Amino acid sequence: MGKTGHIVSSFDNDLLEIRNAIIKMGGLAEVQLKSATQALVDRNTELARQTIEADMEVDELEKTIDTMAVRLLALRHPVADDLRLVISALKIVSLLERVADYAANLAKRVVALNNAANLPMVGTIPRMSELVCHMIGDTLTAYSQNDDYLALEVWRRDHAVDQLYNSVFRELLTYMMEDPRSITSCTHLMFIAKNIERIGDHMTNISEIIIYQVTGLAPIEPRPKGDETSTIMIENEIIKSEYAEGE
């Protein structure tokens, strides 16, 4: 019975408009990440600049969806699954806006990196990006089809992204130790990898919201956590800091 329309059919249209706008916004964010990554791989400054500019469209959509949701809350007083849809929309929209911001930031760093003569090519970053793009795509599918199983599957997938991020982190550390002249580029790359990893985190968040929207419940498992970089130290740094403590 939940699938049949409301007696007031314009209510259905309002809800559908919000859903469609979110799918559109998610699609834009996905394209943003793809373009930014492509710009990185091809060292294409022009594409990077386009990506930065396209962020404005996502920001506009965020405002539009916010307005739609507030209007619907005020005029329709939604309850139960309708209420969950509107509340979820408000949360998802701000996460998607962050995702597009990360992509734009990635593109900005590509512009900066393209000023450097050569770049340590870290193949893991495009791989991470591809994985995360799939997560975005599947999250949007789960959203559009009310598929809480797919959402849960995406939610678990974030672990693989974190693993890749850990290895990028270590890889970049070794480059920097080998050649201090690469530190600027490697730092940019580190942030790029971190941005992609954060986008993956946001897909886990959105998946949780989808599960709540569909079932009314939050996932029962603890959130997967695989980013270990916050505790990584290089060996001789550890020795130095221990020595410092001894003094």
Partner 1 sequence: MEPIISAKNVSVYYGKKQALKGVNLDIPENQITALIGPSGCGKSTFLRCLNRMNDTIEGCRVEGDIIVDGKDIYDPQIDEVYLRARVGMVFQKPNPFPKSIYDNVAYAPRIHGLARNKDELDNMVLASLEKAGLLAEVQDRLHEIGTSLSGGQQQRLCIARALAAQPDIILMDEPCSALDPIATAKVEELIEELRASYTIIIVTHSMQQAARISQQTAFFHLGEIVEVGKTEQVFTSPQDSRTQGYITGRFG
- Which of residues 26, 35, 78, 200 is near partner 1 by CB under 8 A? 78
Is residue 82 near partner 1 by the rule CB under 8 A?
yes
Q: Are 18 and 65 in contact (CB under 8 A)?
A: yes
d(CA 204, CA 136) in angstroms, rounded, equals 10
Q: Are 176 and 183 in contact (CB under 8 A)?
A: yes
Q: Among residues 180 and 216, whose Cβ is nearest to partner 1?
A: 216
Is residue 220 near partner 1 by the rule CB under 8 A?
no
Q: Among residues 54 and 68, whose Cβ is nearest to partner 1?
A: 68
**Residue 232 CB neighbour total at 10 angstroms:** 10
> Quick check: helix, strand or coil at residue 232?
coil
Least spacing, CB of residue 104 vs partner 1, in Å: 36
Is residue 83 near partner 1 by the rule CB under 8 A?
yes
Q: Among residues 87 and 183, whose Cβ is nearest to partner 1?
A: 87
Is residue 216 near partner 1 by the rule CB under 8 A?
yes
Q: Among residues 82 and 97, whose Cβ is nearest to partner 1?
A: 82
Q: Are 99 and 196 in contact (CB under 8 A)?
A: no
Is residue 91 near partner 1 by the rule CB under 8 A?
no
> 155-186: buried (b, 16+ CB within 10 Å) or exposed (e) per residue?
bebbebbbebbbebbebbbebbeeeeebeebb
Q: Give the interface with partner 1 as residue ranges (CB under 8 A).
A: 1-2, 4-8, 11, 77-84, 215-217
